[in-house]
Amino acid sequence: MRRKSAAEHLRNERIILVICTVLAFVGAIFTASVLFSAIASAIDLSDGTFTVMSSFALCAGCFSAGAAAAKRRGRNGIKTGLACGGIIFLFTLIFGLIFVKSFSVGGFFTKILIIFICSALGGIFGVNSPQRFR
């Protein structure tokens, strides 16, 4: 059995980092969406409330992705969170243009602020939280 080279080890670590980050992002959005769906089925809500709920779910997903990535990496929390936020924003923008087929400047800047602020805060939280498991 041969030993892994440093490049192979780094590649595997990056793959694990991406998988953990995506799972944290999707898991947080799924949990928030299930919770908000239960609330919406119990009481009658306005359209504006659904917009706030979807923004909060996106915020929770970005925070958890930034925290998971920064905790896994262990350094550069803000940079790691902003990098996660940039990737999430690009996917949100692309999927929004494909599926919704519309673009508003206000929605663009609101989403970019929500994503980058929550991802950076998640990165700060993740890098400063204690390491329990690796």
Q: In b/e form, how buried is each residue of 61-97, taking b as 16+ CB within 10 angstroms?
A: bbbbbbbbbbbbbeeebeebbbbbbebbbeebeeebe
Q: What six digits make up the tokens of 113?
A: 């602020």
pLDDT 10s digits, 23-77:
999 999 999 999 999 998 898 888 888 888 989 999 999 999 999 999 988 888 8
Task: Tell me how far apart the alpha carbons of residues 37 and 44 are, in angstroms, rounded to a whole number.
Answer: 11
pTM of the model: 0.86
pLDDT at 3 over 80: no
pLDDT band per the 50, 70, 90 thresholds, residue 132: low
Instruction: Please state which of the ranges 12-16, 37-41, 87-91, 128-132 shows the lowest mean pLDDT.
Output: 128-132
Closest Cα to residue 128, out of 81, 71, 78?
A: 71
